[in-house]
Each structure stands twice: as C-alpha cells, then as structure tokens.
Amino acid sequence: MNPDTGASSAATNGGGILLVEHDAYDIPGVVRLTLNRPDAFNALSEQLIAELHAALRTVAESDARVVVLAAAGRAFCAGHDLKEMRQTPTLDYYQALFARCSALMLTIARMPQPVIARVQGMATAAGCQLVAMCDLAVAADIAHFAVSGINIGLFCATPAVPLSRNIGRKAAFEMLMTGDFIDAAQAREQGLINRMAPVDALDAEVAALAASICAKPAAAVRAGKALFYRQLETDIEAAYQLAGQTMACNAMDDATLEGMQAFLDKRKPNWNG
C-alpha cells in the first residue's frame, strides 16, 4: 500500500482528479475518495469541488458504511485554486464559488455515513476546513495545518466556521489571525484531529478506525451521527428531547434488541442474521 495515496487492491474508478475506491482497506462498505491533483497540492478547483460534491451525494444515498477522504501526493489540500480565483475577480463569481464550497462542506456533515479525513501532509485554508468538517480525522505525524488566507489578505471566513467548532475559541482565532501552522501533535491536542500515526502506519490507523465503526450496527451509527450534529445546534432542553427520541427509536431496532440480549446472555451479538 502506498502511504502517499492509500492505494490498495480495492476497486477504483481509474484516473481523473477524484479517485473513488470501494471496499477500501479490504473492508466491505468503506468508500475512499482521493483528491488527485498532486501537482497542484490538491487545490480545490471548481471541477474538483463539483466532482467531490457529486461523489459524496452518491455515497450518501448508498449502503456504504464509512467514507475516507484522502489525497494523493505530498499535500492533503492547499485550499482553493488561486489561479482560478484570479481569473474572474467579480463579486458574483466569488459568492457563487464560496456557496458551492459551503454546500460541499455541509454535505459531509449531513450525509449518514461517518467521514474520516486521512491527512498525509499539508492542509491549509479550505483544505484545513475539509479536515475540520470531517467527522473524524487521522493524520500522519508529518502533517501540518493552517488557515493561511490572512497571509494574502483574505481572511479564512468559511474555514473559520468548522475550525471554531472543533477547537477552542482563542486557539482558532490565533490560527485565523496569524496564518501560522500547527503540527499534527498540536492539532491532536487542540481537537482538530483524533489520531496521529507515523506516515507508514497511517493507513493501518485509518483502517482500524473504519473497521471499528463498520463493526457496529449501521442504523445506530447513522442515527447517532444525525443526532450528534442536530443537538449541538440547540439549547440543552431541546437537545435532551432530541436525544431521548433518538434513543427510544434506536432501542426498538432489531440489532439493538439483539445487542441488549447478547449483553444479558454474556455473549457476542449476532448482527449477521
């Protein structure tokens, strides 16, 4: 397995700027989407935004269990494609561009499958935004992160939305105002990523996390993700109401009833029928 791309024997869609692999890491139900513009540091061109958004919507409607968002080459993602942005310096163009990117980011949060960012290198600006929007993130120990738009006079306003919801307010503000990098260890300490591994062990760490999720009943995982984000945006009383209703419905699921009975019987649950 190539540590730069995560390539394996899993079925893939071939070339192009976005690679789609099914049963990645030889785990049924894991779909890996790989940004494939390594020479451009996987910058989010209009085409890449469109293709990634379309792929995520397709996966969301499938029976896939987990999505891994990866990237080819040395960088995870360097943010928006500045060459494209400079070609059409109009307010209408920029508003439409950032609206399309925001729709992509919201799809990650709204799709039923957990999305794991596999970060093998640099993630800056909208690339760091991608990491923050993913439900989970595993990074190589050589990875580093920044919201660096301020360095060219462009405050990273849209990346600020998920960043400030992942890490502490003052830490997020410092990153946004200075454009300075943090390393993988700092990112883990601050809550931007979940796990860190040597680059040659990155795929094993991602696979272990994906396998752990895939081992759980799909209905519980999907209901849990939806509830997690909904309750965050409400007051505590409404959050408890949402959570109680979710748990009550979840408790009626056949897989949950089997899980409870297995616990009482002191055996492993049989979720394969």
Boundaries of every domain in the chain: 11-214, 218-265
pLDDT band for position 8 (50/70/90)? Answer: very low
123 phi and psi, to 5 degrees? -135, 110
Closest-CA residue to 131 (of 121, 148, 119, 143)? 119
**What is the C-alpha separation between 101 and 117, in angstroms, rounded?**
17
- For the domain covering 11-214, report its CATH number: 3.90.226.10
Q: In 3-state terms, what secondary structure has residue 80?
A: strand
| Cα–Cα distance for residue pair 149/154, rounded to 1 Å | 5
Give me the mean pLDDT over the 38-60 stretch.
98
pTM of the model: 0.93
Instruction: State pLDDT tens for residues 202-232.
Output: 999 999 999 999 999 999 999 999 999 999 9
Rounded Cα gap, residues 220 and 213, in angstroms: 10
How is domain 218-265 classified at the architecture level of CATH? Orthogonal Bundle (1.10)
* pLDDT confidence tier of residue 7, bands split at 50, 70 and 90: very low
